[in-house]
């Protein structure tokens, strides 16, 4: 059976969950934060190595200012409230995305979350914050250009493995399974390079309703997949023409 090492989640549908109940969108984000709390615990208990969650995209800044402020506030609340619990449950927090553009108080909280949990060797919880796949690739290209200019690497050394080391995800395995809630079936600029061979699972429910059982169902669905990475399995036994 195929166990995923790395699951990445696009937590979509908070706004629609709230609207369907006649509530303001921010109520959906708040309940979404509780869903995140439960899923992190469950992932940790199931022995998953890597869980990446798309918490705030580089495109999310274009939402109304009040909603952006609320999402920032929820991230602060999540870190302040859950950090010691994560540390004590052997979860290591890592953050990907462009941290330089993030407000200073959030930057220091993200730094603190990484520092306090850095000795943990259980679940790696990767928070994609102010993250966009294209922007990440452009940042990597700039870093490579600098390395070329200062002679740290030479052009013939650059291959896919070397390129991967310049991404925010340098130390991480690629996601085996990408889950998106809310029924939408697109990647929305999430882990563009890293998802080359990922399996996808689209859950019909909105993120606030995604619970432990839903995660189990997604993993069970993944068990049935046959991953070929572009190859033909057992091709020597098969008649090719």
Binding positions for substrate? 13-17, 25, 29, 57-59, 61, 63, 180, 186-188
**Could you say which residues in the range 21-40 bind ligand FPP, by CB under 6 A?**
29, 32-33, 36
175 lies in the site for ligand FPP, by CB under 6 A: no
147 lies in the site for ligand FPP, by CB under 6 A: no
86 or 144, CB closer to ligand FPP?
86
**What is the distance between the alpha carbons of residues 108 and 76, in angstroms, rounded to a whole number?**
10
Q: Which two tokens stand for residue 109?
A: 């909280």
**What is the distance between the alpha carbons of residues 66 and 136, in angstroms, rounded to a whole number?**
26
**What is the distance between the alpha carbons of residues 156 and 163, in angstroms, rounded to a whole number?**
12
Task: Give the one residue of 4, 8, 14, 172 binding ligand FPP; rule: CB under 6 A.
Answer: 14
**What is the distance between the alpha carbons of residues 30 and 205, in angstroms, rounded to a whole number?**
16
Name the binding residues: 12-17, 25, 29, 57-59, 61, 63, 180, 186-188, 199
**What is the distance between the alpha carbons of residues 109 and 107, in angstroms, rounded to a whole number?**
5
**What is the distance between the alpha carbons of residues 36 and 51, in angstroms, rounded to a whole number?**
11
**What is the distance between the alpha carbons of residues 221 and 198, in angstroms, rounded to a whole number?**
13
11 or 219, CB closer to ligand FPP?
11
Q: Which two tokens stand for residue 183?
A: 């029924």
Instruction: With CB under 6 A as the rule, give the number of residues binding ligand FPP.
Output: 18
105 classed as catalytic = no
Task: Give the one residue of 12, 82, 168, 176 binding ligand FPP; rule: CB under 6 A.
Answer: 12
Q: How far is the CB of 101 from ligand FPP (least distance, A)?
A: 16
Task: Give the one residue of 74, 95, 126, 144 binding ligand FPP; rule: CB under 6 A.
Answer: 74
Residue of 12, 82, 168, 176 marked catalytic: 12
**What is the distance between the alpha carbons of residues 74 and 142, in angstroms, rounded to a whole number?**
32
102 lies in the site for ligand FPP, by CB under 6 A: no
180 CA to centre of own chain = 11
Angstrom distances, CA of residue 194 to CA of 145, 173, 232: 21, 8, 22
Residues that bind ligand FPP (CB under 6 A): 11-16, 29, 32-33, 36, 55-56, 60, 71, 74-75, 78, 207
Tell me the catalytic residues: 12, 60
């Amino acid at each position: 059976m195929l166990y995923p090492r790395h699951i990445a989640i696009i937590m979509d549908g908070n706004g629609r969950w709230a609207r369907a109940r006649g509530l303001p969108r921010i109520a959906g984000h708040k309940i979404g934060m509780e869903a995140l709390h439960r899923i992190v615990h469950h992932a940790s208990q199931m022995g998953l190595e890597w869980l990446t969650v798309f918490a705030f995209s580089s495109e999310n800044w274009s939402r109304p200012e009040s909603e952006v402020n609320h999402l920032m506030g929820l991230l602060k609340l999540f870190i302040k409230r859950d950090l010691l619990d994560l540390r004590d449950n052997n979860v290591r927090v890592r953050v990907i995305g462009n941290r330089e553009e993030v407000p200073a108080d959030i930057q220091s909280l993200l730094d603190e979350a990484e520092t306090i949990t850095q000795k943990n060797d259980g679940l790696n919880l990767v928070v994609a914050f102010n993250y966009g796949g294209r922007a990440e690739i452009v940042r990597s290209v700039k870093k490579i250009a600098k390395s070329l200019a200062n002679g740290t690497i030479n052009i013939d050394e650059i291959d896919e493995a070397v390129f991967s080391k310049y991404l925010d995800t340098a130390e991480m395995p690629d996601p085996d399974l990408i889950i998106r809630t809310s029924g939408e079936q697109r990647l929305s600029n999430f882990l563009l390079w890293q998802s080359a061979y990922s399996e996808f699972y689209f859950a019909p429910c909105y993120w606030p309703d995604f619970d432990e059982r839903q995660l189990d169902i997604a993993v069970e669905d993944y068990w049935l997949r046959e991953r070929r990475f572009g190859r033909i399995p057992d091709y020597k036994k098969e008649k090719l023409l």
